[in-house]
């Protein structure tokens, strides 16, 4: 039996309401697998991969970086490095992690080499968002092995830095103070039940069924220290895919003691999982990825975040994925120029990077929108709203609503043809409704007498003025 018209309408409303409450995945304009968060000063930066949709493999050619000061509004800084940044790389721009030392930022990556194996490299920058350049002009770690993937890096209190990595096996080296060389040997960490919950049984030549594995180290290590204890989170093994598990140690090089699974048997729509853990503004956060964006899956994964509290003994509780994600830990100032690519949630648009590195919102379609959370207007309402926009054709309308898609409309900007899709024009309109205090903002895209489905305009930045 089909739904009645009223029932169908109710389901549509409930679906829209659920989307408006959602915060996970935290980035909707691109696929962003393998999130690696880094806290620097008053912001969190997250370094991700870039799954290219439409392939039945982990096809990735670049890396991306985003930042947030409130954990809900994420600014897209584009793609500061790609395979082309490394003369020795030819394919598979897989998981990576960035760290700061003495005012410089070191981004450790893995890629397939021209010699047809996997290797680790390092790029360096004076800024957490780039530009980055290959620090060596050659791999940092190359052994001819396909296990050289998923680097994780940490600098201990005594100044010694460690680089762990590995698929199937776990390795580490001690990095020198320059962060682009290492001393000693490459050490392989023993795989035992006590250390990682299980070991991979040898392949059975008779094709007999192998014993069930409760857990084991697979890949994706995340190495960090908290309250004197060392943690090694990793992608472990669960039925039908990967889970997130962890081990702990009193020393940075082990021995490791398996602690259990953190996130397991969740409906992530992805065979893999890859995580990172940080503390920020008094909260602890788990970053991970799912395949839950439209068109996503095991080869189209997106960053999600959950908050959690450590147990009194320092152990990590089991964490379940949620649609709602995390709550803001700050507010956004509307009287400062804000990049349009600062987004809590987006529909029917993407972000794009021009030749100068400027990142803006593009591919805007009718009835799409951008949501920005916790915007603090203060006690005095703004007088005007200004947006930097560009359109090669008649552009449509940019509406600004508070608190919901159909909430009070406080500004409306008619976007004309500006002379080109990158010909930015600052357009100003009066603000109505006298908004004060903290509100969510919705930038809603409307088309007026425009062919259905075509792009409306590009959106670079916005600002309110008193």
Write out the chain's pLDDT in tens, 466 residues.
344 444 434 333 334 444 557 899 999 999 999 999 999 999 999 999 999 989 999 999 999 999 999 999 999 999 999 999 999 999 999 999 999 999 999 999 999 999 999 999 999 999 999 999 999 999 999 999 999 999 999 999 999 999 999 999 999 999 999 999 999 999 999 999 999 999 987 766 665 666 677 899 999 999 999 999 999 999 999 888 999 999 999 999 999 999 999 999 999 999 999 999 999 999 999 999 999 999 999 999 999 999 999 999 999 999 999 999 999 999 999 999 999 999 999 999 999 999 999 999 999 999 999 999 999 999 999 999 999 999 999 889 999 999 999 999 999 999 999 999 999 999 999 999 999 999 999 999 998 767 667 899 999 999 999 9
What is the CATH topology of the domain spanning 338-465? Jelly Rolls (2.60.120)
DSSP-based three-state secondary structure for 15: helix
Give yes or no for a contact between 415 and 423, defined as CB atoms under 8 angstroms apart.
Answer: no
- Enter the pTM of the model: 0.94
Domain limits, CATH 2.60.120.260, in the chain = 338-465
The whole-angstrom separation of Cα 45 and Cα 35 is 10
Portions of the chain given CATH number 2.115.10.20: 23-308
CB contact at 8 A, 33 and 51? yes
Segment holding 244, helix H or strand E: strand 241-249
- Stated as kind and residue range, the H or E segment containing 5 is helix 5-21
- Percent of the chain scored above 90 by pLDDT? 89
CATH-assigned architecture of domain 23-308:
5 Propeller (2.115)
| Beta carbons within 10 angstroms of residue 64's beta carbon | 26
pLDDT 10s digits, 168-188: 999 999 999 999 999 999 999
Helix (H, G, I), strand (E, B) or coil at 140: coil
Give DSSP secondary structure letters for 285-337: EEEEEES-STT-BTTB-EEEEEEE---TTSPPPP----SS----SS-B-TTS-
**126-132-136 Cα angle (round to 5):** 100
What is the DSSP-derived secondary structure letter of residue 124? E
Query: 3-class SS at 21?
Result: helix
CB of 304 within 8 A of CB of 321? yes
């Amino acid at each position: 039996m089909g739904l009645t018209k009223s029932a169908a309408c109710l389901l549509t409303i409930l679906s829209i309401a659920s989307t408006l409450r959602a915060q996970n995945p935290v980035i909707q304009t691109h696929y962003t697998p393998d999130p690696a968060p880094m806290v620097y000063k008053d912001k969190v930066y997250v370094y991700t991969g870039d799954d290219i949709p439409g392939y039945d493999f982990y096809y990735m050619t670049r890396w991306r970086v985003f930042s947030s000061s409130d954990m809900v509004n994420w600014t897209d800084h584009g793609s500061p490095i790609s395979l082309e940044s490394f003369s020795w790389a030819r394919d598979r721009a897989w998981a990576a992690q960035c760290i700061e030392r003495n005012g410089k930022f070191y981004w450790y990556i893995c890629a397939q080499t021209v010699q047809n194996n996997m290797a680790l490299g390092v790029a360096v920058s004076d800024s957490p968002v780039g530009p980055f350049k290959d620090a060596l002009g050659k791999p940092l770690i190359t052994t001819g092995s396909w296990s050289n993937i998923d680097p994780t890096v940490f600098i201990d209190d005594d100044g010694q830095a460690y680089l762990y990595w590995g698929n199937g096996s776990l390795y580490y080296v001690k990095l020198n103070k320059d962060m682009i060389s290492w001393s000693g040997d490459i050490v392989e960490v023993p795989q035992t039940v006590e250390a990682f919950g299980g070991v991979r049984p040898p392949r059975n030549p008779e094709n007999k069924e192998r014993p069930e594995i409760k857990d084991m180290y697979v890949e994706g290590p995340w190495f960090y220290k908290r309250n004197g204890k060392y943690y090694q989170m990793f992608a472990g093994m669960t039925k039908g895919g990967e889970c997130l598990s962890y081990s702990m140690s009193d020393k940075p090089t082990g021995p490791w003691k398996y602690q259990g699974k953190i996130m397991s048997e969740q409906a992530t729509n992805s065979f893999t999982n890859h995580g990172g853990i940080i503390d920020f503004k008094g909260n602890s956060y788990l970053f991970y990825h799912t395949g839950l964006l439209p068109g996503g899956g095991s080869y189209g994964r997106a960053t999600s975040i959950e908050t959690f509290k450590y147990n009194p003994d320092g152990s990590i509780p089991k964490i379940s994925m949620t649609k709602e994600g995390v709550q803001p830990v700050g507010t956004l100032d509307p009287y400062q120029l804000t990049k349009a690519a600062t987004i809590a949630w987006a529909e029917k648009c993407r972000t794009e990077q021009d030749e100068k590195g400027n990142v803006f919102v593009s591919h805007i379609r009718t009835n799409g929108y951008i949501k920005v959370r916790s915007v603090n207007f203060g006690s005095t309402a703004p007088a005007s709203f200004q947006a930097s926009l560009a359109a090669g054709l008649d552009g449509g309308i940019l509406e600004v609503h508070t608190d919901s898609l159909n909430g009070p409309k406080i500004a409306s900007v008619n976007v004309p043809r500006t002379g080109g899709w990158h010909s930015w024009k600052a357009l100003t309109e009066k603000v109505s409704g006298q908004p004060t205090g903290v509100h969510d903002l919705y930038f809603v895209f409307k088309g007026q007498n425009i062919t259905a489905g075509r792009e409306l305009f590009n959106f670079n930045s916005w600002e309110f003025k008193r």
